[in-house]
Amino acid sequence: MKALIIGAAGFVGHYLISHLRDACNWQVSATKLKHEEVPGQGISLFDLDILEIGQIRTLLEQVRPDCIFHLAAQSSVALSWKNPALTADVNIKGVINLLDAARALDYRPRILLIGSGEEYGHVKPEEIPIQEENNLRPGNIYAATKACQNMIGKIYADAYGMDIIRVRAFNHIAPGQAPIFVVSDFCKQVAEIEAGIREPVISVGNLSAKRDFTDVRDVVRAYRLLMENGRPGELYNVGSGHAVAIQEILDQILSLSNQKIEVRVDSSRMRPVDVPIIEADISKLCADTGWERQIALEQTIREIVEDWRNKVKAG
């Protein structure tokens, strides 16, 4: 199978490349922005700006992939508030450019559009677990643009007969994730406390919210299975199907340390918990692909803590 990953320089791209290349022996091509780096060998790497449709057309004609994983996005919620125009350009215009370029080919590659569980927004208690048909109430610019991307994908699939599968991915974690995300942040703080470069106090925000966490290695395996077995035009939730309280995550992380650590609420980290619980209904994914979670949350947390210990020691 010949795969093209659009936007491979991020957290998920690294794991998707490894999975397709090493576990599946697929032929992998990947794109990045000029200033970005994508580590690893055994792939064909290209610079690409998805706002330039001519670049996309040239690349698709050159690579002629069997399938395209569209990971490229402006995925920061904070940045989406500061620069909504950029977010809309990348997340909406970018996907239109990709789909138009693919539509012009003399064959139909399968395209996986990666959206976000953020699209569901303000979920009501009676809507848990969240099904794909649930009403969308996006609460930020990023989520709104991703919802639009999903709608555009459905329209192109129906109107032009394109082989498009859409995904809404919930929280995914693993070693290597930036500490702007809660699990990586907690693990980094603990590693710094153990190394003596931080006082034995971990700063936290809201701990009561429950969220659906999945190891990114299970997530990218779901993406590959959808490429192989997903139904054209369909939308799939990708998550664990089980929500866990942030407090429980923190307790697991603290239990891995022999340090006595005080937990202190930092007002700057506090956000209103509009949605107490977010949990994905993944029955469609499991039924159509046979996907099952393979990596337990406890294992992922242990590996993230150890990864941060190694990074802190290395300076």
Q: How many domains does the chain have?
A: 2
- Predicted local distance difference test score (pLDDT) of residue 27: 97
User: In terms of domains, do 272 and 127 share one?
Assistant: no
How far apart are alpha carbons 143 and 145 in whole angstroms? 5
Is residue 281 domain-resident? no
Q: What is the CATH number of the domain that holds 66?
A: 3.40.50.720
Structural domain range at position 299: 174-211+242-276+295-314
Burial code of 166-195, b = ≥16 C-beta within 10 A, e = fewer?
bbbbbbbbbbebeeeebbbbbbbbbbbbbe
Is the Cα dihedral 151, 152, 153, 159 positive or negative? positive
Asked whether the beta carbons of 139 and 121 are under 8 A apart, the reply is yes
Q: What is the pLDDT of residues 207-236, one digit of tens each?
A: 998 999 999 999 999 999 999 999 999 999
Res 271 pLDDT > 80: no
Residue 125 has what DSSP assignment? G
DSSP states of 223-285: HHHHHHHPPTT-EEEES-S-EEEHHHHHHHHHHT--S--EEEE-GGG----S-SB--B--HHH
User: In terms of domains, do 180 and 222 share one?
Assistant: no
Residue with tokens 């998920």: 12
Q: What is the CATH number of the domain that holds 308?
A: 3.90.25.10
User: In terms of domains, do 126 and 184 share one?
Assistant: no
Grade residue 161 by pLDDT with cuts at 50, 70 and 90. Answer: very high
> 139: which residues sit within 8 A by CB, 6+ positions away?
118, 121, 122, 274
How far apart are alpha carbons 253 and 249 in whole angstroms? 6
Asked whether the beta carbons of 31 and 51 are under 8 A apart, the reply is no
Compute the chain's Rg from CA coordinates: 20
Residue 124 has what DSSP assignment? -
Q: What is the pLDDT of residues 51-103, one digit of tens each?
A: 999 999 999 999 999 999 999 999 888 889 999 999 999 999 999 999 999 99
- Predicted local distance difference test score (pLDDT) of residue 276: 83
- Predicted local distance difference test score (pLDDT) of residue 40: 72
Asked whether the beta carbons of 309 and 194 are under 8 A apart, the reply is yes
User: In terms of domains, do 152 and 16 share one?
Assistant: yes
User: In terms of domains, do 6 and 124 share one?
Assistant: yes
User: In terms of domains, do 206 and 223 share one?
Assistant: no
Q: What is the pLDDT of residues 101-140, one digit of tens each?
A: 999 999 999 999 999 999 999 999 999 999 999 999 998 9
- Predicted local distance difference test score (pLDDT) of residue 254: 98
